[in-house]
Structure 1
Amino acid sequence: MNRKRRLARTALLLAASAFLLACPPPPRPQQLDDLQLMLASGVVADVTPRAPDAVAAARATQAEAEAAWEDGDLELSSRLSLLAQVQVRLAVALARQDLARERREEAERTVADSEAAYAEIEARRQVLETRLSSLWAYRRIQEEVARERAQAVEEEALRAERLTDAERATWEKNWRAQARTDAAEARRTLEVARMLGVADAYPEAERMATEAVETALDAADVSPWRIERPLVDYAVAQADELRFRMLTMESDGGAEAMAERVRTLAETYRSGFDPPFHVAIDPRGILLTLDAKSAELQIAFPEPARTALRDLRTKWTEDPSLLCLVVARSIDPECGENCLSQTSDLARLAAAEISPDDASDRIRSLGLGLVKPEEPLDGLSQTGAVRLEFLFFPRATPPAP
Structure 2
Amino acid sequence: MDFQYSPKVQELQKRLIAFMDEHIYPNEAKFHGEIAENRRKGDAWVPTVLMEELKKKARAAELWNLFLPESEHGAGLTNLEYAPLCEIMGRASWSPEVFNCSAPDTGNMEVLARYGTPEHQKQWLVPLLNGEIRSCFAMTEPAVASSDATNIESRIERDGDEYVINGRKWWSSGANDPRCKVFIFMGKTDPDNPNKHQQQSMIIVPRDTPGVNILRHLPVMGFDDAPHGHAEIVFENVRVPASNMLLGEGRGFEIAQGRLGPGRIHHCMRLIGLAERALEKMCQRTLTRVAFGKPVAEQTVTLERIAEARIMIDQARFLVLNAAQMMDTVGNKAAAKEIGMIKVAAPNMACQVIDWAIQAHGGGGMTDEFLTHAYAGARSLRIADGPDEVHRNQIGKLELSKYKTLKR
The alignment's TM-score, normalised by the length of structure 1, stands at 0.22
User: Larger C-alpha radius of gyration, 1 or 2?
Assistant: 1
In terms of fraction of residues, the more strand-rich structure is 2
In terms of fraction of residues, the more helix-rich structure is 1
